Structure 1
Amino acid sequence: METTGSGSSTSSYRANERLARERSQFGGVKVGSAFFGWVTAMGITVLLTALITAFGAGVGLATDTDLGTATESVAGNPDATAWISAIVLVLVLLLAYFCGGYVAGRMARFNGMRQGMAVWLWAIIAAIAVAALTVLANVKFEALGQLNGIPQLPMDGAMSALGWIALAIAVIVPLLGAILGGQAGMHYHRRVDRNSENIYRAP
């Protein structure tokens, strides 16, 4: 019994040692994996936005609500509309960037938190690039602005409190979702490694 326990302990130690060597050699932030994670996050954002828009239109048709009635209802209760929009935005960004972080973590295998942060950094870089092109070329990127997939940086220097809250949501929520997704993608590989060790130790 002691020999078996010692052998099991030795095998576990060797597995951890091998994993540490692999991490030191292949770990670190993988820019390519983070980029494809960001592309995934953008794609999921577009898909969810389209589904939510289609669902809203379907509800309007099913309840026989015309555009004028809906507009009057929204104007009569702007606070409720703002809260609903904020909640939907949080859920969309959280899910989309969780998927993006998961893709990056699965592709990179190690350092899931860093991979998730790198996905988020790609979103910030894209937001800065769009803002810079908007200023330099005096062009409005309406398509990107409507996706809500990247933080919308203020260009005029004046924002209301609600605008700053929306910007904070667009910055913090994707970071949280990407980190959680990156960790989930990395843990998949750790689970595979543990199962592989059990298979190899089996008689």
Structure 2
Amino acid sequence: RYGGGDIPATLGGLLAAIGTFVVLGGLITAGAGNIAYQVGVLDIDGNVEELSIAGAVASIVVLFVSFFVGGWVASRMARIDGARNGIIVALWMTVLVVVFGAAGIWAGAEYNILSRLDLPDWVSHWDNSEVTTATSVLASIAALVTYAGGYLGGLVGDIYNTRANSAMASASPEQILN
């Protein structure tokens, strides 16, 4: 009777996950960029000379924390079936990535606004031969971590909902209103 995915709750969880990702990613990028420039990983123009393992691990941690928060928000909003709603948050993100990736491939490089605005553009000039095994493995790990974060965040939100529901069920009406 109860259970299942709650679309408004999962979209709210997706927005929370994206917001958390932007904030944490910005903070870590600012700190890492400063450190990388100090130790000589960045050249004077700001080009990265090598990608460190620490950067990849930090990215994975930020993804996990972001989707943990998104799963928790979806679970708390839906109040039922938290793990399922947490996974749906990650599924929404997968759909967005596929849609925007397909739109980018369909539009082609001539509609790449980043190249016209003199902004950093790290993706459009890649060739398929440049995608290494390490890149594919890291992308797979990132996808798994995204789903795991959403699932675990949904479970934690479900634990809170269960405790709140049992407290309300055992309380008298006067205790609930006060």
Query: Does the alignment pair 1:117 with 2:87?
Result: yes
Q: For the Cα contact (< 8 Å) 1:104–1:182, is it kept in 2?
A: yes
Provide, for residues 60-91 of structure 1, a one-character-per-residue CA deviation record: whole Å limited to 9, x for no partner: 78xxx37xx3337x85xx5xx53211210111
Aligned partners of 2:22, 2:4: CA distance in 1, in Å?
Answer: 29
Aligned partners of 2:18, 2:113: CA distance in 1, in Å?
Answer: 15
Deviation of the 1:120 alpha carbon = 0.8
CA RMSD, aligned part only? 3.0
Q: Percent identity?
A: 27
Aligned partners of 1:85, 1:60: CA distance in 2, in Å?
Answer: 10
**Which residue is 1:51 aligned to?**
27
**Which residue is 2:17 aligned to?**
41
- The structure with the larger Rg is 1
Structure 2 spans left out of the alignment, 5+ residues: 115-119
Structure 1 spans left out of the alignment, 5+ residues: 1-23, 147-151
Deviation of the 1:189 alpha carbon = 1.3
Q: Could you state the TM-score of these two structures normalised by the residue count of structure 2?
A: 0.77
Q: For the Cα contact (< 8 Å) 1:134–1:141, is it kept in 2?
A: no
Q: For the Cα contact (< 8 Å) 1:130–1:141, is it kept in 2?
A: no
- Give 3-state SS (helix, strand or coil) of 1:70's partner: coil
Q: For the Cα contact (< 8 Å) 2:64–2:149, is it kept in 1?
A: yes
Within 5 A, what are the aligned runs for 1:1-203? 24-25=1-2, 27-59=3-35, 65=38, 69-71=40-42, 81-138=51-108, 139-140=111-112, 158=129, 159-200=131-172
Q: For the Cα contact (< 8 Å) 2:5–2:85, is it kept in 1?
A: yes
Aligned partners of 2:72, 2:146: CA distance in 1, in Å?
Answer: 13
Q: Could you state the TM-score of these two structures normalised by the residue count of structure 1?
A: 0.68
Q: Which moved more, 1:109-118 or 1:131-140?
A: 131-140
- Give 3-state SS (helix, strand or coil) of 2:4's partner: coil
Change (3 A) 1:194 1:56: same
Aligned partners of 1:44, 1:168: CA distance in 2, in Å?
Answer: 21
Aligned partners of 1:48, 1:201: CA distance in 2, in Å?
Answer: 42
Aligned residues: 159
Aligned partners of 2:103, 2:93: CA distance in 1, in Å?
Answer: 15
Aligned partners of 1:32, 1:83: CA distance in 2, in Å?
Answer: 37
Aligned partners of 1:157, 1:57: CA distance in 2, in Å?
Answer: 27
Aligned partners of 2:146, 2:112: CA distance in 1, in Å?
Answer: 23
